[in-house]
């Protein structure tokens, strides 16, 4: 990720702007003053820059929780702050100049709010989780122009590579999302997906709760799939294959196809390497046979106004509140002008959402955007409001 190593961090007066970048406010970690967050807005995207101060030098980079869809905007924000504050840059991988000409043209990269408010239902949808190099995803989109493909990936270089190919190949039926696929599935309308591809997911042998394939992911897949639609797992990990088979077969009613070393139309460079190494490739395909009820999610993320007790809010640091099927963990607390900002994780245990919350001026608000409107997040929000109100 883009970053700057600087001789010494210098704070500017907020709010301010430079080179079309708005610097909104600064938040200081209440328990580690060497960590700061700078709120910035660039081309309609708001996110944080993270400052880590050290004795000999400091680091300025983007905050992982709020990183924007456009990596170009991160480069621009870092460069603008360095110039505005007059920082002495010791080392940098921040690029200067214009966007890549292909990325200038493409509009395929979407934020989660696009799907939450504007999910297309007029054509069949296919979803690939963790598309990597994008070879399979691009092949499918190019050969099925009447189908909408959604590729989900969190590795930025892979996203940039696929976006360039979308522009070069002029693919108007492929959208890209940088988000947790497990959360994304909760807002997909029912019965519109033809295929879900999960090709070579990270096995997470030491952290199985982070695996894409889980009981809840399969349940959401069955809901969003059309009758006859398929969830297709492809893996080189025998452990992941065995775990997934047991998870699939635990359902009271299911149809599975199992294959070993099956050839497909296009394979990734990693799969080609594994085949040369004579590693086995396992396929588990679940076929959906039932139509599901329409998706219905009711509720809001509004907070009731209240007089905040700053000391009590600060005391929430590192505490955890548990409720049925979910939790809220107060990871960090920050001081902002006339208030407090909390970094929290909340929602279900296996697919929590990480976000920020600002408490000031008798109000509470999520920042820089609302949580995904899912049933687990709405349940967590109600519990969060009770905790904050005491």
pTM, rounded to two decimals:
0.82
- Identify the pLDDT of residue 106: 64
101 burial (CB, 10 Å; 0-12 / 13-18 / 19+) is exposed
pLDDT for residue 19 is more than 90 = yes
- pLDDT for res 232: 97
Mean pLDDT, all residues of the chain:
91
Give per-residue pLDDT as tens, 317-370: 999 999 887 899 999 999 999 899 999 999 888 778 899 999 988 889 999 988
Q: How confident is the model at residue 259 (pLDDT cuts 50, 70, 90)?
A: very high
DSSP string over 97-116: SSPPHHHHH---EE-HHHHH
Residue 374: its pLDDT value, please?
84
Lay out the sheet containing 125-129: strands in order across: 109-110, 174-177, 148-152, 125-129, 193-199, 225-235, 282-287, 256-260
Q: What are 283-319's pLDDT values in tens digits?
A: 999 999 999 999 988 899 999 887 777 888 889 999 9
Strand partners, 8: none
With beta carbons less than 8 A apart as the criterion, state whether 40 and 81 touch: yes
Whether the CB-CB separation of 148 and 126 falls below 8 Å is answered with yes
Residue 127 φ then ψ, to 5° = -125, 130
With H, G, I as helix, E, B as strand and everything else as coil, classify residue 124.
Answer: coil
Q: What is the pLDDT of residues 178-227, one digit of tens each?
A: 989 998 998 899 999 999 999 999 999 888 888 999 999 999 999 999 99
* Alpha carbons 61 and 356: distance in angstroms, whole number: 18
The 3-class SS string of 339-386 reads EEEEEEEEECCCCCEEEEEEEECCEEEEECCCCCCCHHHHHHHHHHHH
Q: For residue 10, what pLDDT is reported?
A: 95
3-state secondary structure of 388: helix
Q: What is the mean pLDDT of residues 36-65?
A: 94
Instruction: Categorize the per-residue pLDDT at 104 as very low, low, confident or very high, splitting at 50, 70 and 90.
Output: low
DSSP 216-276: HHHHHHHHHEEEEEEEEEEES-HHHHHHHHHHHHTSSS--EEEEES---S---HHHHHHHH
> DSSP labels for 273-328?
HHHHTT---EEEEEE--S--PPP--------------HHHHHTTTT-EEEETTEEE
Cβ neighbours for 3, distance < 8 A, ≥ 6 positions apart: 59, 60, 61, 62, 78, 92, 93, 94
Which band of pLDDT confidence, cut at 50, 70 and 90, is reported for residue 95? Answer: confident
């Amino acid at each position: 990720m883009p970053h700057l190593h600087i001789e010494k961090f210098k704070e500017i007066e907020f709010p301010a702007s430079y080179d079309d970048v708005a610097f909104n406010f600064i938040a200081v970690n209440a328990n580690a003053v060497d960590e700061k967050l700078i709120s910035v807005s660039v081309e309609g995207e708001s996110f944080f820059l993270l400052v880590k101060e050290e004795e000999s030098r400091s680091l300025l980079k983007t905050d992982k929780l709020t990183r924007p869809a456009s990596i170009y905007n991160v480069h621009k924000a870092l460069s603008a702050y360095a110039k505005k504050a007059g920082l002495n840059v010791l080392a940098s991988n921040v690029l200067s100049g214009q966007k890549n000409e292909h990325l200038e043209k493409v509009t395929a990269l979407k934020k989660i709010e696009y799907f939450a408010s504007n999910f297309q239902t007029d054509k069949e949808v296919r979803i690939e989780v963790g598309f990597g190099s994008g070879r399979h995803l691009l092949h499918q989109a190019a050969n099925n122009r009447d189908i909408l493909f959604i590729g989900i990936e969190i590795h930025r270089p892979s996203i940039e590579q696929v976006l360039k190919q979308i522009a070069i190949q002029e693919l108007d039926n492929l959208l890209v999302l940088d988000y947790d696929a497990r959360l994304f599935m909760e807002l997909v309308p029912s019965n519109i997906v033809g295929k879900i591809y999960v090709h070579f997911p990270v096995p997470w042998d030491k952290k199985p709760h982070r695996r894409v394939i889980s009981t809840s992911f399969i349940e959401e897949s069955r809901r969003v799939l059309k009758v006859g639609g398929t969830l297709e797992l492809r893996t080189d990990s025998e452990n992941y294959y065995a775990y997934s088979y047991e998870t699939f077969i635990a359902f009271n009613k299911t149809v599975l196809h199992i294959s070993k070393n099956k050839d497909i139309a296009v394979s990734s460079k990693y799969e080609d390497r594994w085949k040369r190494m004579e590693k086995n490739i396992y396929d588990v395909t679940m076929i959906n046979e039932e139509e599901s009820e329409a998706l219905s999610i009711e509720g809001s993320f509004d907070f009731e106004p209240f007089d905040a007790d700053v000391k009590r809010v600060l005391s929430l640091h590192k505490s955890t509140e548990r409720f049925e099927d979910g939790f809220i963990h107060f990871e960090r607390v920050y001081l902002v002008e006339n208030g407090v900002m909390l970094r929290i994780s909340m929602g279900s245990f296996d697919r929590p959402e990480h976000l920020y919350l600002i408490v000031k001026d008798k109000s509470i608000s999520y920042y820089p955007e609302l949580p995904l409107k899912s049933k687990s997040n709405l349940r967590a929000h109600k519990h969060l409001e009770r905790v904050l109100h005491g």
